[in-house]
Amino acid sequence: MNWYGVKAIYYFEMARSWRTMMQSLASPVLSTSLYFVVFGTAIGSRMGDIDGVSYGAFIIPGLVMLSLLSQSISNASFGIFFPKFSGTIYEVLSAPVSPFEIVLGYVGAAATKSMVIGVVTLITARLFVDYSIDHPFWMLVFLVLTSITFSLFGFMIGIWADDFQKLQIIPLMIITPLTFLGGAFYSISMLPEPWQTLTLFNPVVYLISGFRWSFYSVADVSIGLSLSMTFLFLITCLAGTYWIFKTGYRLKS
């Protein structure tokens, strides 16, 4: 294992992030504050509790998950796309580092940045509403697994994209709508049939439900199913990344 190579990639990516850390941190803080002003105060004050949890506290896991998904994909996709765009990717591929070590460096840095932003989002939420974390260990498990999984997904998007516009297509057109429709701001049990059943085909539902369970011990689906689906997403992304390096898809052409 070439840890020197892994650390070189990791530290380079983290250094790039620190240079723009104010923008990276200001965005989730501002967006979280606006969500709480609009949803938590203006709308939440007119809503009752959901499963025994105040609406302001209920939406916190959804807000954190929204930040995690978007930041993980954005950080990882841009991190690998820019070397492709500038041509420096060939220096990385020719270096004495394996594909696993390359992915570990890029994805590790992207996941670290998204977890930092997730924690910042939680701290910002504390300024607006009190909340509890019933299962802190499982909260960390979902935080880490989600960050790694969607950083891998973002890594694949960065390989697939051949211009800056394509980097935004999947996050804006697919991931964000799925997050909003996945119970980020409501419980899917509030939906009438057949929408409640159709929502179960949304993979983000299982991420948000499991993450919310770690806070308040309430969930739309069982915690076991949420964990199983999270690991399934992780394995799928690992398989996709392995295929990219095995075939050289958009890396060697």
- Residue 21 binned pLDDT confidence (cut-offs 50, 70, 90): low
Instruction: Note the pLDDT of residue 252.
Output: 64
pTM for the model stands at 0.90
- Residue 130 binned pLDDT confidence (cut-offs 50, 70, 90): confident
Instruction: Note the pLDDT of residue 169.
Output: 87
Instruction: Return the domain boundaries, the chain.
Output: 3-247
- Residue 180 binned pLDDT confidence (cut-offs 50, 70, 90): confident
Looking at every residue in the chain, the average pLDDT score rounds to 86
Q: What's the pLDDT tens digit per position in 34-63?
A: 877 777 666 666 677 788 888 888 988 998
Instruction: Note the pLDDT of residue 32.
Output: 73
Is the CB of residue 131 less than 8 Å from the CB of residue 60? yes
Cα 227 from Cα 68, distance rounded (Å): 17
Cis peptide before 194 (omega within 30 of 0): yes
53 φ/ψ angles, rounded to the nearest 5 degrees: -120, 135
In 3D, which of 187, 183, 65, 60 has the Cα closest to residue 131?
60
